[in-house]
Structure 1
Amino acid sequence: MTEDTLHNRRIHVVGASRGLGRGVAIALAHAGARVLAIGRSADALAQLRAEADVDVRVGDATDPTFVCNLLEDDAPDGVVLVAGARPALQPIDQYDWEAFSAPWQTDVKATLLWLQHALRRSWRDHGRVIVFSSGAAMFGSPLSGGYAGAKQTQRFLCKYAAGEARMRELPLTIQCLLPQLNPNTALGLAGVRAYAQRAGEDPAAFVHKRFGDVPLSPAIAGEQVVRLLVDPTLQSTPEFLLGGRGLKAIEG
């Protein structure tokens, strides 16, 4: 896709009812894409629809039938997968298995399903899939149970699926974004507060020390996804860190 061809392209944003996914849906709509915003909360999606020119669909991103039917019936040109579970924030010895494995049951399962169906379906033109993992995949997240491991597995799944697409010579590009911790979403703010308290620091000072004057926000995430979709020079890079200053390619 280029800046011109993004106009009127159908893009699914999975996990669009809140946080970074909401920012992505709004930015893509403003860029001229025909956005289908997908999420679990009908109320949140209705609020999004009142703010931006998007279609909405309530559904479970980990339901195989829902995913298959949506991709076949609506036939998108691209998918941005942001959906995920909100981890508990507590020391590792306080987790039971259900809470520990929640990111695997949601984030990993959704990534597997959407990538599987992306590989199996026919794309009208050159398809794009962007999966949101997390900076925790690289740096860990000791208060988040199985979260960092799940996010690392998302990276592996993207690499595996991208390799399959190349081997099969499919018209499909798969990329993975690793957003930094930030105070501008509910999930991010909870994490900032928990880790700031653990470090004995004020939350604002914690953010500034680690992420500078411009932490990531939903609006910045949306701008950078648009950039990734329209800039052909970025298409061959499989992974990026995503922060307040934009995209940074991950080498190796």
Structure 2
Amino acid sequence: MQYILLCLVYMFENNNIFNYKSKKKMKKLRSILPMLILGVITAMTMASCIDSDDNNQELTEEQKQACVTTMSGSYSGKIFFMNRDIKLTETTKTQTDSTEQINARFSYPESAVVIYDIPAKLFFKELKNHDEIKQAAENADPVDLKIKYVPYSTGTTTSGGTLIDYYMQPNEVKIPLTYGGETHDYTVMFLANSLGRWIDKETQFSFYIYGISTGLDANGNKEMLDGNALYNTSMTQDEVTYLQYVFYGSTK
């Protein structure tokens, strides 16, 4: 149940912010990023901005490698997320927050991206009744997240630029936390097959936390903190956004 692709499709099909048949000019990515966290996984999905070369045929291995080559390089940007500590007021209408100066690298020939120095506390922010763990995460070292990606569609924008769509498959992240005089090992797990898009040296993609494991049980299966994952299939779209992280970055 760790695959969220159908959930993402549901979000796209039921989102009314954009009219996919509109001929309006595409806005700059950074001006519409706050809307991502509200359920629009990527504003770059606007069909009006795309003259797609994709005809529902799977990319060949050669085409996928060409995409990996095109996307390779270092990117700098931010991670956007929902922060429940932000109090909503007449002037503050959203709990969208972001980190600063986050760096990532898309590697070649391996189709993987590594996001460097993510504050560990971001992955524990949705815990309830675990103040000691959350405080330890505040003091923990930042972590790197490696994400395998798979290009699945290419096209061109109306301005003639290159466009690449891809699936994200994050690795687990092991995070040791020290509290109560001991070090406790946690493993952060993510949902697979969230979506990303690359357009002319700019990229943005989402990844979603699935749950936090405290170790293995007698049968070798992961034991989840409090016995349950943070994500479950009965969650509403708004609830899922609190498990969502959106990286936006650009390269020179």
Larger radius of gyration: 2
Choose between structure 1 and 2: higher helix proportion: 1
Q: Is TM (by shorter chain) over 0.5?
A: no
Choose between structure 1 and 2: higher strand proportion: 2
TM-score (norm 1): 0.25
